[in-house]
Structure 1
Amino acid sequence: MAPSDPRRVYALIEAEKGGLFRSDDGGENWELATANRAIRQRAWYYTTLTVNPSNPEDVWFPQVPMLRTIDGGKTIKYIKGFHHGDHHDLWIDPKNPKRMISSNDGGVDISVNGGETWFAPPLPISQFYHLSVDNSVPYRIGGSMQDWGTAQGPSMNPRGGIALADWWGVGGGEAGYVVSDWSNPDIVYAGEYLGIITRHDRRTGESRNVSAWPDNPSGWGGEAMKYRYQWTAPIHVSPHDPKVVYHGAQVIFRTMDGGQSWDVISPDLTRNDKSRQKWAGGPITGDNTGVETWGTVFTIAESPKEKGLVWAGSDDGLVHVTRDGGKNWTNVTGGLSGAPREGTISLIEASPFDAATAYVVIDNHRLDDRHPYIYKTSDYGSSWKALHSTLPDDVYLHVVREDPAKRGQLYLGTERGVMYSTDDGAAWKPLQLDLPTVAVHDLAIKGDDLVVGTHGRSVWILDDLQPVREMSEQIRSRDVHLLGVPDATRWRRGDGNWASSYGKFSNPPQGASIYYFLKQKPKSEVKIEILDAGSRVVRTLSSVPRESDKSDDEDDAEALKKAALPAKEGVNRAEWDLTWEGATKIKGAKIDTGDPARGPRAVPGTYTVRLSVDGKTQTTPLKIMADPRGAVSQADLDAQITFALRVRDDISKLSGLVNSITSVREQLTARAKALEPRKAEPAIAELLKASAAVIKKIDGFEDRMHNPKAEVTYDILAERGGSRLYSRLSPLQMWAIDGDGTPTRGMQQVLEEQEQELATLERESRAFLSKEVAALNAMVEKLRLEFVIR
């Protein structure tokens, strides 16, 4: 119904002689406005319209493209400018019809000028069917997204945040699996509905069709197909031979040459119910894309512990296993007590610890059964044990993975999020944290990361599984416990790509994640110290916020507050960025380049983490790994850290000098103020005059050490003489640590020159203070005053 004219009613009718019907009298009489097929194709998938709230003649039709009529249906035109097709809804602001939002398979498009132009915000709302991780460094995540196609991108970007430009297509299509060759991650196998599979070579960007049966059964019913492929037909690369790849139809195909040729290695592993293989349609409009195909192999898994031991699960409830590479198959469904007969075997996880062990997840929600079903076998499927008794009764499951670092630790992807078990499925707990409530269709474990593929909120990574693996009731009974710290990689960050800064997502924390359990909120400071192999304290972290001074801008001051360690009841997480303690800053001093508080990065090696809280101290080792992409030797890194610490210590020494002379000045100033009422006395006047002369000389010394007159950073550029020693040592420290390697000869020569200047300042200032302060103190003692300069 048109909001601006209730008598105008439109009806989009699905029928052989259907189309857009229109009534101008509130539905009493109707006429066919148009039978245009474009507005009623794939009727079950679209069939919607939106009437402009201020113009009854203006009607929009979300379809494969966006369509529109401005004359009540007489003519239909295509609307361009969208970033994606397959539109499913259109909202028009009733108060301002120029504001519009289209929802489509690619996200949303927004217009503020009545549809003349459109803008698509980069929203993380992709619908992933499956995902995988490869062996790149950093590892990459690949998967297929509803209507977007395949994508692969980095788990982190050493150049900065992860940008949209860091992701690329890898062949295949919108449905199916994306799996990399584990021996060569540049080779990627990607699927698409109707049995399409491609082999992508990232080095050349080429994607080559290597389908086992490259026919096009689009529009066919299952009974007409030689091979029935599931919408997300499984692809599995053998963990024993990267050239061996499995692909599922109603049978299992295997290639041993990377897809050049395929062999059928199984009989039909489904129920092969012919009544479920008919053409989909009638009386409703037919629609046969492959998603309607039933009686297919839905999941394949070869045991990483036993070559040729392959599991297969079908979408009509069967589980089969072969132990001889497909020569003989055994139906092991019978032991799945209580399982729905025709439930989808959503995923089979072959245990990384034991060849006889596997886990099976069954999804039966398409048959109106939302109960969870998960089973385990420890005898190759001869018997099965149900693991779902402690799961919520109304949440169905998609995927289970066993942690390769801890036997019996399971992660479960459900329709509402992630759950986990530390006791092989006996009890389940939510692992939601900040993950939205969303369907989780796949999970992958890479090192200490849990990668989560959602159907509606893109990909998420839980960066560190250490506390999930280690926490136990025994630990929870203790007052304090420092968990083990996983190895930390010393990534080097390069310059980012300016063009790719739009739409960036954050990297995982760079450095070491340190977890500690506190049974209750502590009474005193929580302190973490990092010690090197020689027991030197590299860095100290504290729950007490560090104070900022007027040299810090607002962002720096806020960062200092956030840097304080958490000290809450339960598990706490601290981040050490792998840097040493920085230099002592000159309070209030401005510099135009560098950051003295930023310490150099610790070199690869073994360190100790020491936790101190409420009189209890615990330690655990930490290993820093070298950047695997780098070619810098340990000797170069050792030379770099030695040089950088030397510069750091020089800055701290300079700061100490400034503090010592300014302390004398502050005392002299305070004494002069106190003696102001007695300045008419000759002896006091002489003392004040001598003090003023000393203050002037102190000002001169300070002016050589830094730029005390600078109120803002770039006052340094306007000041005669330019940057002083503080503003020259600071950038030298920055340049020495910004890139790995032995400091250049130029750096070493400049430091030697600056250290000579520092030594001169130290010698002259200390000699001056020693002489002048002693003289002033003698005058004070002669006058029997209490104001002795320290």
Structure 2
Amino acid sequence: MQLTQLPLPRARWSLPLFPMHRHVRYAYIRTSEDLKNSSRRIQIMKNILSFVNVRALFIFVIIALLPAAARSQKPASLPSQTLMSKLKWRCVGPYIGGRVVTVTGVPGNNHLFYAGTVGGGVWKSTDGAEWENISDGKLPGPSASIGAIAVAPSNPNILYVGTGEADIRNTVIPGDGLFKSTDAGKTWQYAGLRDTHSISAILVDPKDPNVVYVASLGHVFAPDPNRGVFKSTDGGKSWTKILFVDNDTGAICLVMDPGNPGSMYAAMWEAIRRPWGLSSGGPGSGIYKTTDGGAHWTNISRNSGLPSGVLGRIGLSIAASKPEIVYAIIQAKDGGVFRSDDAGATWKRVNEEMKLRQRAFYYMTIYVDPKDPNTVYAPEVDALWVSHDGGRTFTKLKTPHGDNHVVWINPDDTKILLEGNDGGATVSTDGGKTWSTVHNQPTAQFYHVNIDEQFPYHIYGAQQDEGSFEGPSSHSGGLIPFGAWREVAYGESTYAVPQPGDPKITYGSGYYSIFVKHDQRTGEFRSVSPWPHYQEGLSSGELKYRFGWTRPILFSPANPKQLFTTAQCVFRSDDYGATWNQISPDLTRNQPNTEIPSGGPIDLDQSGAEVYPLVSALAVSSLDANLIWAGSDDGLVHVTTDGGKSWQKVTPPGLPESSINCIEPSHTDKQTAYLTARRYMWDDFKPYVFKTTDLG
């Protein structure tokens, strides 16, 4: 930009701010002489401020206000860490809740609630309408994934929080133990069990807050000795493992008779995740009972009336008003809802409907009304189901969001319900007829973020179980309102990608082969999939193209008309998705034993999340449109220098089998690229970062 010398006082701007540029441009003003008095400086600034609404802009450096000699001096370089330390995080939204798998209230206080999110920490509400985070920067550990919360019945200021959720999706975030607060969440202390990773339940003795029980599923992706039930009698200073089956079986549910705290039931679940799938169920699964505080346990899984075959995930609940009544919801071939009227000695199946036990690894919980032993709640995918006849029939309570996981029933006023689902935490004060909004808690889990070239730039992302959104990075009103966010393409786990030059058009993927183009102006969704044959429910080995749960979508930075996506190979479109070319062979290991059906010995669970392996990372050099890098989620790296005509395997020799999650080519040197990989699905939590300066 050529700067023109202008007479004072009529200052003019050469302002390349409003055309679409990704990088921040500075506005310069040059005068015929250096400004020497403050009144003339003020006049210049008034001219500037009358032209620009500074509330919506960054603060610009006006170098014309500096003496000419100072402008000619070369600025001293600062270390990158010094510069980075000045960056501050701010929440830009949207205010939409994310998955909640644990909630609790406080008996005696009908307006106090706690919720644990799987990626956003612990939240507290004093009215059910507004939520406040009470863990950010306070929990003495890195994990913000909360699997269990308990309030000590004898002292409501004492809270225990277990990290790491036990609804074991393949994107599960591991925890780092148990934490305790003695001041209702103002401060927290580490309370042990660092290596349990997935805490599913916490029970506190009704009279002694130092007696605590914890159910641990342990490491999800490997056999692990940290599975089972643990007990502390000193408030978390020390722990004893009181129930253990084997390294493949963890504790998924633990319930206590509030009138007799030595009487408890535990549900043990044999389950393990692999990068390519899930196995739910096996000989380790079962129901155990103790009557002496965990000193001795009895396996009651084969008591009369219970399923005779392989068991999977199990949920349990004791009727506080009549504790000999116990309910179980069981994953099995002949599973369903079971009821015992004699404290577990015998059982009867009262309901076998699949609507209550579909996708068992993700749900399978049951809760009894504390006052009415015949009122039972069962959270599930499409509703919070309720029965008023002892579990024989269930009707829907429509919550604000699907994928329901947990409910707390106020023992003083059982019309007050606190429910957790994939959209957040929600409160009902009328028995489930109406609910509070979940658009008041910024706990969304975003898979990826993208930006465009508008000014201010807009942010694009896909939220787990909500879909995809875009919104501005700043707003004239300061706080970015929820209404500033708009729907874009497409699904909950996609890369949401704006079209270069026209950000109103976006591209995104959905389950299996779904791939769509969305025009925000008209609201139109149009399929642009390279392979539009939708084959829901098939295993990886049965699919022609393995389009994964979250697969790359990008435009070439060197040729913005080229659109790319992947399956086990790479596809390119030169006409915005109207037609496609496959430009690579299979770039994965393609091992048949990793492409088998997923779910386990009882039920298959193949929603698209287990499609494996595929090209999980893709990058085009900004310096050369023919230079393309590809990484697979089973650990291979390839590069092409001729636009896909030929590919070379360049996997780093020191990288074990892993998921390649990002490749970033250098913006200044074609030979250089950076790579990151993750191995949490191999039970390895170390970071892996590589650099090449010779094309691999």
Higher strand share: 2
Alpha-carbon distance in 2 for matches of 1:232, 1:259 = 18
Where does residue 332 of structure 1 map in the other structure?
A: 650
Shift of 1:74: 1.2
Alpha-carbon distance in 1 for matches of 2:448, 2:539 = 25
Alpha-carbon distance in 1 for matches of 2:684, 2:412 = 43
Counterpart of 1:27 (choices 327, 341, 344) is 344
Alpha-carbon distance in 1 for matches of 2:679, 2:411 = 41
2:352 corresponds to 1:10? no
Where does residue 601 of structure 2 map in the other structure?
A: 283
Shift of 1:76: 0.8
The answer on whether the counterparts of 2:559 and 2:625 sit within 8 Å (CA) in structure 1 is no
The answer on whether the counterparts of 1:336 and 1:375 sit within 8 Å (CA) in structure 2 is no
Percent of counterpart pairs with the same letter? 44
Where does residue 761 of structure 1 map in the other structure?
A: none
Partner of 1:169, secondary structure, is strand
Query: Pairwise mapping of residues 601-750 of structure 1 onto structure 2 (< 5 A)?
Result: none
The answer on whether the counterparts of 2:666 and 2:673 sit within 8 Å (CA) in structure 1 is yes
Counterpart of 1:102 (choices 419, 443, 448) is 419
Alpha-carbon distance in 2 for matches of 1:50, 1:353 = 59
Aligned residues: 377
Where does residue 192 of structure 1 map in the other structure?
A: 510
Alpha-carbon distance in 2 for matches of 1:344, 1:33 = 44
Partner of 1:194, secondary structure, is coil
Shift of 1:159: 4.3
Alpha-carbon distance in 1 for matches of 2:358, 2:497 = 34
Shift of 1:20: 0.3
Alpha-carbon distance in 2 for matches of 1:146, 1:2 = 34
Shift of 1:94: 2.9
Shift of 1:160: 4.5
Q: Deviations over 1:481-507 (max 9, x none)?
A: xxxxxxxxxxxxxxxxxxxxxxxxxxx
Q: Deviations over 1:220-264 (max 9, x none)?
A: 011110000111011011112222111010001110100001110
Where does residue 638 of structure 2 map in the other structure?
A: 320
Alpha-carbon distance in 2 for matches of 1:114, 1:201 = 41
Alpha-carbon distance in 2 for matches of 1:150, 1:366 = 26
Counterpart of 1:42 (choices 354, 359, 384) is 359
Query: Pairwise mapping of residues 436-451 of structure 1 onto structure 2 (< 5 A)?
Result: none
Where does residue 578 of structure 1 map in the other structure?
A: none
Alpha-carbon distance in 2 for matches of 1:55, 1:222 = 47
Shift of 1:345: 0.4
The answer on whether the counterparts of 1:308 and 1:325 sit within 8 Å (CA) in structure 2 is yes
Shift of 1:353: 2.2
Alpha-carbon distance in 1 for matches of 2:476, 2:526 = 31
The answer on whether the counterparts of 1:178 and 1:189 sit within 8 Å (CA) in structure 2 is yes
The answer on whether the counterparts of 1:132 and 1:179 sit within 8 Å (CA) in structure 2 is yes
2:451 corresponds to 1:133? yes
Alpha-carbon distance in 2 for matches of 1:67, 1:243 = 49
Alpha-carbon distance in 1 for matches of 2:653, 2:319 = 55
Shift of 1:95: 3.4
Counterpart of 2:556 (choices 219, 235, 238) is 238
Alpha-carbon distance in 2 for matches of 1:193, 1:359 = 29
Alpha-carbon distance in 2 for matches of 1:33, 1:330 = 60
Query: Pairwise mapping of residues 327-476 of structure 1 onto structure 2 (< 5 A)?
Result: 327-333=645-651, 335-337=652-654, 339-341=655-657, 343-381=658-696
Alpha-carbon distance in 1 for matches of 2:520, 2:433 = 38
Query: Pairwise mapping of residues 161-240 of structure 1 onto structure 2 (< 5 A)?
Result: 161-240=479-558
Alpha-carbon distance in 1 for matches of 2:525, 2:490 = 8
Counterpart of 2:429 (choices 87, 112, 119) is 112
Where does residue 149 of structure 1 map in the other structure?
A: 467
Shift of 1:24: 0.5
The answer on whether the counterparts of 2:507 and 2:517 sit within 8 Å (CA) in structure 1 is yes
Q: Deviations over 1:444-470 (max 9, x none)?
A: xxxxxxxxxxxxxxxxxxxxxxxxxxx
Partner of 1:195, secondary structure, is coil
TM-score, normalization: structure 1? 0.47
> Gapped runs of 5+ residues in structure 1?
382-790
Q: Larger relative contact order (C-alpha < 8 A, sep ≥ 6)? A: 2
What amino acid maps onto 1:39 in structure 2? L
Alpha-carbon distance in 1 for matches of 2:357, 2:430 = 27
The answer on whether the counterparts of 1:197 and 1:210 sit within 8 Å (CA) in structure 2 is yes
What amino acid maps onto 1:360 in structure 2? L
Shift of 1:60: 0.7
Q: Deviations over 1:16-65 (max 9, x none)?
A: 21100100010111101110111001111111111112221111111012
Alpha-carbon distance in 2 for matches of 1:140, 1:372 = 30
Alpha-carbon distance in 1 for matches of 2:369, 2:669 = 63
Shift of 1:199: 1.1
Shift of 1:216: 1.5
Alpha-carbon distance in 2 for matches of 1:140, 1:321 = 31
Q: Deviations over 1:419-444 (max 9, x none)?
A: xxxxxxxxxxxxxxxxxxxxxxxxxx
The answer on whether the counterparts of 2:677 and 2:687 sit within 8 Å (CA) in structure 1 is yes
Q: Deviations over 1:162-200 (max 9, x none)?
A: 111111111221112111122221221112231322111
Alpha-carbon distance in 2 for matches of 1:155, 1:98 = 41
Partner of 2:373, secondary structure, is coil
What amino acid maps onto 2:682 in structure 1? L
The answer on whether the counterparts of 1:170 and 1:207 sit within 8 Å (CA) in structure 2 is no
Higher helix share: 1
Counterpart of 1:264 (choices 582, 589, 592) is 582
The answer on whether the counterparts of 1:172 and 1:196 sit within 8 Å (CA) in structure 2 is no
The answer on whether the counterparts of 1:151 and 1:167 sit within 8 Å (CA) in structure 2 is yes
2:438 corresponds to 1:93? no
The answer on whether the counterparts of 2:671 and 2:692 sit within 8 Å (CA) in structure 1 is yes
Alpha-carbon distance in 2 for matches of 1:88, 1:377 = 45
What amino acid maps onto 2:656 in structure 1? P
What amino acid maps onto 2:377 in structure 1? W
What amino acid maps onto 2:560 in structure 1? P
The answer on whether the counterparts of 1:212 and 1:261 sit within 8 Å (CA) in structure 2 is yes
The answer on whether the counterparts of 2:588 and 2:615 sit within 8 Å (CA) in structure 1 is yes
What amino acid maps onto 1:328 in structure 2? S
Where does residue 174 of structure 2 map in the other structure?
A: none
Shift of 1:203: 2.2
Shift of 1:114: 2.1
Query: Could you tell which deviates more after superposition, 167-176 or 156-165?
Result: 156-165
Partner of 1:193, secondary structure, is coil
What amino acid maps onto 2:647 in structure 1? W
TM-score, normalization: structure 2? 0.53
Partner of 2:364, secondary structure, is coil
Partner of 2:639, secondary structure, is strand
Where does residue 265 of structure 2 map in the other structure?
A: none
Shift of 1:97: 2.3
Alpha-carbon distance in 2 for matches of 1:205, 1:159 = 27
Alpha-carbon distance in 2 for matches of 1:177, 1:2 = 46
What amino acid maps onto 2:551 in structure 1? A
Shift of 1:161: 2.6
Alpha-carbon distance in 2 for matches of 1:9, 1:256 = 62
Alpha-carbon distance in 1 for matches of 2:397, 2:668 = 56
Alpha-carbon distance in 2 for matches of 1:195, 1:379 = 35
Alpha-carbon distance in 2 for matches of 1:120, 1:357 = 49
The answer on whether the counterparts of 1:193 and 1:233 sit within 8 Å (CA) in structure 2 is no
2:441 corresponds to 1:123? yes
